[in-house]
Amino acid sequence: MRPFEYARPQTVDEVVALLDEHGPEAHVLAGGTDLLIGLRHGTIRPRIVVDVKRVAEIRPEIRENEGVLRISATAVLTDVIGDERVQSDFPALVEAAATVGSVAIRNRATLAGNICNASPAADTAPALLVYGAEIDLMSLSGTRRVLLDDFFVGPGETEIQPGEIVTAISLPIPARPVGVAFGRMTRRRGVDLATINLCCLVDSDGVTIFAYGAVGPRPFLVRDETGVLADRGAEERERDAVLREMAGHASPISDVRASAEYRQAMLGVLSRRALGKATDRLAAA
């Protein structure tokens, strides 16, 4: 690993001052499970690493306030999975987070880090997208909130500007009943990146939303407002036609995990399964 300076600020004011001073030569460290690999391979070469784990204002915390669940930037996946409010209001996020890496990875890796790393295959991204997650950002010039759908730009690329830090992920608690299910395909059970992943949300108004991962340069949303998918009495042929149309927005590539054709075919299979599970859950809600 190439040498770098290390700072461990105690307040967000110190963090944004450091990020402002060093610009693109600074890199934020939260869980480090992606960063340390980048540092070792030399793909990330910061002059200074800013460790934010001991910053008072963003200490690990999951808190509900006025219908929004706020997950702080240093909250690790193990804590997200174990949180009762996440389990009751965002069960598909728990399903997704529980598939990331291994126990030891989830004990370090943060939810915010999984989003900031912006892998097209990030397992928590589809769930956060269908739940309408928003990203809280802070810099010397103030704070702003960006919808996750507007946050992803491309592989490894996000809306974060130089000098900015993600302070939290905010999840609006669904006001109406919804059924949500996560789906994922990998080559082996643990410690593998997703070949494809997705999340399906069906609401009581008949709107169905899918978020697809690993089938394009970034995780993305598609919507069906015809009500066909949400209608449990609809003809299978009709539903499949809508699902095919939605999956047509995917642009998968061929790589070591699967061919583009296989990904496209499995997107249909996983979509059908997740839709079935999501509609069952809505019916039971």
Q: Which is nearer to another protein, 7 or 234 (CB)?
A: 7
Closest CA to 131 of 73, 68, 74: 68
Residue from 57, 60, 78, 216 touching another protein (CB under 8 A): that is: 78
Is 153 a binding residue for another protein by CB under 8 A? The answer is no
Total site size for another protein, rule CB under 8 A: 31
Nearer to another protein, 9 or 179 (CB): 9
Say if strands 48-51 and 5-7 run parallel, antiparallel, or are unpaired.
parallel
Query: Closest distance between another protein and the C-beta of residue 184, in Å?
Result: 14
Q: Taking the C-alpha atoms of 92, 133, 99 and 38 in order, what is their torsion angle to the nearest 10 degrees? A: 180
Query: Rounded CA gap, 210 and 224, in Å?
Result: 8
226 touching another protein, by CB under 8 A: no
Contacting another protein within 12-31 (CB under 8 A): 18, 29
In the bound complex, what is the minimum distance in angstroms from residue 273's beta carbon to another protein?
20
Query: In angstroms, what is the minimal distance from the CB of 67 to another protein?
Result: 31
How far, in Å, are 27, 35, 164, 176 from residue 99 at the CA level? 26, 20, 29, 27
- Tokens 């909250």, residue located: 75
Residue type, 184: R
Please tell me the distance from the alpha carbon of residue 127 to that of residue 135, in angstroms, as a whole number.
Answer: 14
Member of 67, 155, 162, 190 binding another protein (CB under 8 A): 190
Tell me which residues touch another protein (CB under 8 A).
1-8, 18, 29, 32-33, 36-37, 39-40, 48-49, 51, 53, 78, 101-105, 107-108, 189-191
